[in-house]
Amino acid sequence: MMQTILSCAVIAVLTASFVLVLRWGNLILVGQMPTRFFAFFSILFTSGLDVGLIMFPLTEFPIYEIEAAYGFTNPLAIEFGFWGFLIWVFYFLTTCYFCIIEPRVKIFEIPWVKLVNNIIIIATCAFSGFLFLQYLPDYIVGITPFFRFALVALVVLAAVYSSTDIRYVKILSLSSAWLFFALIAVMWAFGGLGLSGLVANLFHIGDYFVNIHRFVLPFSDYHAFYLFWWFAWSIMIGQFVSRFVDGLRTWQLLLALLLIPSIPISLWFSVLFGVYEQGLDISGFMNGFMVLVGIIFVVNSLDSLTRLYTDNLQLTVDRLGKLKYVGVHWLLLYSLILFYQFTPLQIEWIGLVVIGLYLGIMILIIFRRQMLADPVNG
């Protein structure tokens, strides 16, 4: 049943994206806080991804090599398919919605929609922190329970503090984007791939495009997990990053979202796969560097979501004061992270709620379609 709902939802997202480009393809998109092109994509990239991009592939490559569900292509193409190219259509659709449609129909100002949306944001924000807490022993071997909980508390504190000023969010996003490129370069040197090895692995990723149709609908439970994850994040990331769009046409945004995030992702997976194939031991400095970048990605994700729900609910620094703001939101998020240890919550559940919200929004758009007259600059 869940797979059927998920499949229908994915098809609906692709169809809606096609219709959106067809109708408003030449519309120039401008957000509330227009930002330079590289800064916009740094915010999108670091807010829309988390530590899983850094740490998961080394544990997933062996699975993709042996399980029959992934036998139609190579592990690199599978990994890329779960993180790159077509999957960014989710963020394209929601970013465009908040740039083009929401200012006219104002669906997210309807009390029940606003309530559900912010519950999803807070729940997902804390759940991401909970997953980080759960996986920390895999990232940092031998970490004690005390330091595990203390590190998560510090990460949440850093994220909440960063969310107090949008300048901090931008600076952190730009810094972590450059740091990620540095990690790719260092891992490439560590793996000793050379240019030929890197190019060979990039060609392996190219097999994804031959089999791209297979990635549209869930072909395994784990693929479904990833699709639910992208759904869970899609609305809130689109709502946040739409503020920073500056002068891109709709079709340009689509191409940019498909291609630009995929470049660093493909480079990272290629160098990491080279390390995996050689069986190199990643410990000491390299593991520490990966963990550092992963932690910064977590902070980036959490500060963006915190900034979003605090603005939506008017629980801002201006209203509460910086000290009270940091204290209240740190306590809320960290308490939820601890609470999740006693619940069976899964990201699939949040994804289903978001899919339900998608459906509700589509119905409300139909009722408010009179407000969607073509804009003068379309």
Residue 136 lies in a domain: yes
pLDDT grade, residue 51 (50/70/90)? confident
Classify residue 378: in a domain, yes or no.
no
Is 90 exceeded by the pLDDT of residue 155? yes
Q: Is the residue at 319 inside a domain?
A: yes
Residue 180 inside a domain? The answer is: yes
For residues 250-270, average pLDDT: 94
In a domain, 41, yes or no: yes
Query: Mind listing the pLDDT tens digit for each residue in 68-92?
Result: 999 999 999 999 999 999 999 999 9
Residue 376's pLDDT is 43
Whether residue 367 is predicted with pLDDT greater than 90 in this model: the reply is no
Determine the Cα–Cα distance for residues 346 and 138; give it in Å rounded to an integer: 19
Is residue 368 over pLDDT 80? no
Q: How confident is the model at residue 2 (pLDDT cuts 50, 70, 90)?
A: confident
- Residue 344's pLDDT band, with cuts at 50, 70 and 90, is confident
Domain count of the fold of the chain: 1
Q: Provide the residue range defining the domain that includes 367.
A: 32-371
pLDDT band at 347 (very low <50, low <70, confident <90, very high): confident
Mean pLDDT for all residues in the chain: 91
- b/e sequence 236-254, b meaning 16+ C-beta within 10 Å: bbbbbbbbbbeebbbeebb
Give the pLDDT of residue 377.
44
Residue 292 has pLDDT above 80, yes or no: yes
CB 246 within 8 Å of CB 37: yes
Establish if 17 belongs to a structural domain: no
Q: What average pLDDT does the segment 250-269 reach?
A: 94
Q: How far apart are CA 25 and CA 43, in angstroms?
A: 23
Buried b (16+ CB within 10 A) or exposed e, 48-57: bbbbbbbbbb
Reference 201, options 269, 264, 110, 249; nearest CA is 269
Rounded mean pLDDT, 149-178:
93
> For 121-141, what is the mean pLDDT?
88
| pLDDT at site 57 | 92
302-343, pLDDT tens digit by residue?
Answer: 999 999 999 999 999 999 999 999 999 999 999 999 998 888
Per-residue pLDDT band at 50 (split at 50, 70, 90): confident
pLDDT tens digits, residue range 95-105? Answer: 999 999 999 89
Identify the pLDDT of residue 374. 53
Position 378 pLDDT exceeds 70: no
